[in-house]
């Protein structure tokens, strides 16, 4: 059993959004010019995780 399931066995809500601070982009090696593309990529991954337990 994973931790979120142990905390709330019937449902877990996840919210996705954009942060107001962009200073961490450099720390993670991301280019701020790709802000929209990166958000969409990460959101697509989150949706895929919701659909499938295992990702390739």
> Where does 1-56 have alpha helices with state H?
3-7, 24-27, 35-51
The better pLDDT of the pair 39, 9 is held by: 39
Residue 41 CA neighbour count, 13 Å, CB half: 6
Query: Is the pLDDT confidence value at 10 over 80?
Result: no
Q: What pLDDT was estimated at residue 4?
A: 67
State the pLDDT at residue 33.
93
Contact predicate 26/35, CB 8 Å: no
The residue among 5, 32, 29, 4 whose CA lies nearest residue 18 is 32
């Amino acid at each position: 059993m994973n931790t979120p399931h142990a905390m709330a066995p019937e449902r877990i809500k996840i919210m996705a959004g954009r942060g107001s601070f962009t200073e961490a982009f450099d720390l993670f090696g991301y280019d701020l010019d790709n802000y929209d593309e990166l958000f969409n990529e990460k959101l697509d991954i989150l949706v895929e995780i919701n659909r499938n337990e295992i990702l390739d």
